Amino acid sequence: MAEPEAVEGTKSEVGILFVGDLVGSIGRHTLLECLPELRERLAPSFVVVNGENVAGGLGITPKVAEELFRNGIDAITLGNHAYHRREIYSYLDTKERIVRPFNYLRGQPGRGVCVVEKDGVRLGVVNLSGNLFLKAGRSAFTEVEPALRELGEVDHILVDMHAEATSEKVALGWLLDGRVTAVVGTHTHVPTADARVLPGGTAYITDVGMTGPRGGVIGVKREQAVESLVTQMPVRFETSKEDPWLMGVMVRTTKRLRADSIEQILMPRPDRPTPAG
Ligand SMILES: [Fe+2]
Ligand SMILES: [Fe+2]
């Protein structure tokens, strides 16, 4: 961490709050109700959220994305549910601050990287998809190189690795250690206890968890998920409303492309229990 370019790039502290998969309207409301307190307590310079489940539990719509941007969200990452809503396709092609996994096929809608600039600080955001049990046309491990090149000159890079396998996420953390500010995992909706700054200076966590109902099964009403597993028959899934929490991480940095710390954020929605909606 003491190499010359890192010292040369020293700036005042930058904080990046990354929030895990927003599940349904309950996830969106939980975020919006937790944000004022988090902004006051953590004073993040940037807030980035994963929004792949925000529209009714699957996908995202332009209307919901605009609501998030209106509320000061700087960038939105996605994952395997990116294309669940058709109306998002052209939005993904035209809107700069919402990204789907870079390693999808080139012909699929949207882009995989974006840059957000605030107070003279440029944050690059990269979205990648794991390859195990997920449909991603190309390898995350080879495509991350052109993704980083596409960002150009930036002060910080946040990589959201949306993956099922812990091994793929851990491996990506090591591959990028010392080259990006943070590698954060999403998709499983369950937070892991391994947040740390790797030896090269990259903040890492295998999964930040979700922002949604802990009372369900990774977001789904628990009786429906259990019935489906017990009977092995089709069951209509709805988003649970029980026990909503915000889950994320706060990454702090004072050096270009390096993190000083990563703190796990696990916060119950302030007004629990919640009304319908
Ligand atoms: Fe998700
Ligand atoms: Fe996912």
pLDDT, mean of residues 20-39: 97
Is 90 exceeded by the pLDDT of residue 73? Answer: yes
pLDDT of residue 2: 43
The pLDDT assigned to 8 comes to 46
Q: 161-178: per-residue pLDDT in tens? A: 999 999 999 999 999 999
In the chain, the percentage of residues whose pLDDT exceeds 70 is 94
Compute the distance from residue 59 Cα to the ligand 2 centre, in Å.
9
pLDDT level of residue 11 (50, 70, 90 thresholds): low
- Entry pTM: 0.94
Q: Which residues surround ligand 1, an ion (CB under 5 A)?
A: 21, 52-53
Cα-to-centroid distance, 151 and ligand 1 (Å): 25
| Phi, psi (deg, nearest 5) at residue 245 | -130, 150
Strand 121-129 and strand 113-118: the pairing is: antiparallel
Q: Which residues contact 46 (CB under 8 A, 6 or more apart)?
A: 14, 15, 16, 17, 74, 75, 116, 118, 123, 158
Residue in 81, 156, 162, 187 annotated catalytic: 81
**Is residue 156 annotated as a catalytic residue, yes or no?**
no
Q: What phi, psi does 101 have (nearest 5°)?
A: -50, 130
Starting at the edge strand found earlier in the chain, the sheet holding 113-118 runs 113-118, 121-129, 156-162, 182-186, 203-205, 196-197
What's the mean pLDDT when you consider all of the chain?
94
Q: How many CB atoms lie within 10 A of CB 220?
A: 22
Residues having C-beta closer than 5 Å to ion ligand 2: 79-80, 187
Closest ligand relative to 27 C-alpha: 1
Find the 52 Cα to ligand 1 centroid distance in Å.
6
189 pLDDT exceeds 70?
Answer: yes
In this structure, are residues 211 and 248 in contact, taking their beta carbons and an 8 Å threshold? yes
CA of 11 to the centre of ligand 1 (A): 34
Tokens representing 57 are 């539990």
Radius of gyration of the CA atoms of the chain, in A: 18
For residue 162, give the ligand nearest its CA: 2
Please provide the size of the chain in residues: 277
> What is residue 66's predicted lDDT score, i.e. its pLDDT?
98
CA of 20 to the centre of ligand 2 (A): 10
